[in-house]
Structure 1
Amino acid sequence: MFELPVEDWPKSNNNETRCPIEGFSFYVYDELPSNFTSDIEDFICIRVQQRQVVPENVATEWALVQLFRTSPCRTMDPHNATFLVVPYMHWSHCHFTEGISQLDCRQISDGEMNALHAALPYYPQHKLKHLYIQVQSDAMLKRAITAQTWRLVAGPTDGRLGSIVLPIFHDEPMYQPSMLHQQLNDLEHQNRQYSFVAFYNSVNRRMSGLKPRRFRRYFSRTVKSDLMNIPVDGETPADYSNNYTFCGKPFLAVDWGDKQLGKYPQVDFMQKYRESILCPVLPGDSCWQRRIFDVIRNGCLPVVLEWQLDANNNRRGWHTVQTACSIEESYPFLARQNKDETLSIDYDSFVITAPGNPQDETNVTSIFEAMKRVLNNPQELARRQTKMKEYATLFTFGLGVDAHKYDDAFRHTLRILHAHSKSSLYPA
């Protein structure tokens, strides 16, 4: 749910007087039919005012539309603009339309997609300059949108150069760039209580076949057997108090799908992340994990299980071998997406990776070995924490008084678009 009041979200570009990226501008369509713009936005605002849940993918699309409209890089001249932005929130439209489908947005008709493009007067002439917003995986969306050259998306993508993967927006004011800087500075000087914290649900009964969440169960079993000395299949309930330690500090590893768990008191996940040094992020239903953004924004180093996805070791994944989603296709601002390493986040500089065991996938002891290596090396730990802090604001979107003011995910997206305008994909 949005925590920021709607009236505090950006209304004008008064934070900047000119575009911070020289030679770059974009045009935003203002007069699309209401069923593609204001009807969707009004529905979201009503839900916010009624304190109803708004999914983070929807919140991200909404934030992007507002930021494009209010940016000092916006021009009213479509013919001289670097890109033409279509302020249509595609996943939001699908999500809030009656008869929601879990595949291809089938409740949105092809006729509506044709009407959208018919309402873009500059589309026939400048098709390859149009930028679309679709913060959901391609498998969930209409082909009429996913086939477009330039897209702002949530991973995974199909690996095309024009698909820019973005972080998911978090609505709490404490994760705004100005407050995030201060929070991370404060956390840097604190002695964190936990060596690692992991909260997860290893069960999703709606998933069929090989369920990616199985790795969470492997992790939970290893915690019980190796760190707690509890029979994995026994009747003894796991003790989730601070009575157990790892590298000299307490840890928390809570599997909400554990039948032995019983009633565990409600906890503030984010607060626990702020109190922990490391945070394992185990595979979930999709190739990317929202939790990785949460732990980074709370100053906790993410720990992931990594797989080599091809014989040449050129593609790596943090999900499963079966899904074969590479990190380049799944996480924000990587070189394969922007073709400019100077604009890429160096995840290897702070993410702690543990090799998966292809001979026995249930053996996830490498995660604990990787955590030990870092926890027992204060210099390496400090180096990774410093690097993560350098990138932290690239996982946020500044809104309200923070809009267009910081080096955040939106400004970085504009930099990448500017670099793309010099690539072979961009029309001469």
Structure 2
Amino acid sequence: MFIDRAKIIVTSGAGGDGMVSFRREKYVPRGGPSGGDGGKGGSVIVVANPDLNTLVNFRRHRHFTANKGENGGAKEMFGKNAEDVIVEVPLGTMIYDNKTGELLADMTQEGQRAVIVKGGHGGRGNSHFATSAVRAPTFAEKGEPGEQKEIRLELKILADVGLLGFPSVGKSSFLKKVSAAKPEVAAYHFTTLSPILGVVSLDDERNFVVADIPGLIEGASQGVGLGDEFLRHVERTKVLIHILDAAGSEGRDPFDDFNIINNELSLYSPKLLQKKQIVAANKIDLIQDPKVLDDLRSKIEAKGYEFFPISTLTGEGIRPLLESVWDLLQEIPDVQNEESEKVIVYEEPKEEFTVEVKDGVFYITGKRIEKLVSMTNFEDYVSLRRFDRAWKFMGIDKLLKKNGIQEGDTVNLYGTEFTFSDNRNQEETEE
């Protein structure tokens, strides 16, 4: 079964909490703080695996969750880092944030790795917070929280050459003839329901990959005949071989077929028509009148395309066609898809603070404030004072005042509520 789209949920692990501990050695009467740091939470990393060719594994396995880092220990013992979770995908998989639609990674190279959600950093133990004024800090940081995303995977197969054409024109027969691929060949439409890859070997040093792109008929760009499910695979190819039923054995005019398919390419993406395209007029063994082939040749060449009469039954004309394809491939630079050039590995954008007022409560959101709240122990006085200083440094007070906050109003930070007071800032200044 071929599956080229999937949605999964990935969750990274939180960092381990820092430890509050003090030295208790026998001959050290005033032992200082010795709490160790928490370990780093596990990340979720996507890796491109060339041995995979479908996203079918994600139909049942949709949740990938990394573990939390180990908490810090006494005697400055660091907590153990959690292992990363590896998610393997086929080459050509594009990864999107399903909520924002943003492209996170484009997996076009073997072994390519993309960190989709990063594990949280471990909290620092109390040994980090000793100063000349506070020699025995009684607080430590909590671990940084992990992240969660729903991501959308879309597979676009990677091939040098794509085969175009209406059903039953001989695409599968052509692929079977020129490679070791074994597509199903039968005299009915839509025999092929998934893209099939084959490797063409002209000699020991000249090889290229060909993909049979199924489901293309009139209306394909709007989803008729499964066309929109497979047209995306054409985008990865460098050269297109447009196969026509030159004998009209299906009762259709081959030149009309040619125009219909190219029109569907244009409707899906105008860039597809800019790709190099060679026309292969198949089933010439069924043509009785040579004028039929000559007429088709003149119409195709008048549009500026190379024309090759072939027969997948007898093999006639196939070798010259493949040689021409190879020459074209050498002329086209080996450049990745434009989207993959722009974005390879996702980086979390910096998010500014936002304030929303509901029922008199001021809700503040933002990555930095979320991290600060989650790593603060609000039951410890020293930790709370440190939180106040960070709050002031971030300019949260100014932002709240700009949004009309008054003395005694309630502030909500990811479920933790405070009463706003200007006196707090004045007390800090006096200190």
Give the TM interval when normalised to the shorter protein.
Answer: under 0.3
Higher share of residues assigned strand:
2
- For normalisation by structure 1, the TM-score amounts to 0.27
- For normalisation by structure 2, the TM-score amounts to 0.27
Higher share of residues assigned helix:
1
Higher normalized contact order (CA 8 Å, seq sep 6+, divided by chain length): 1
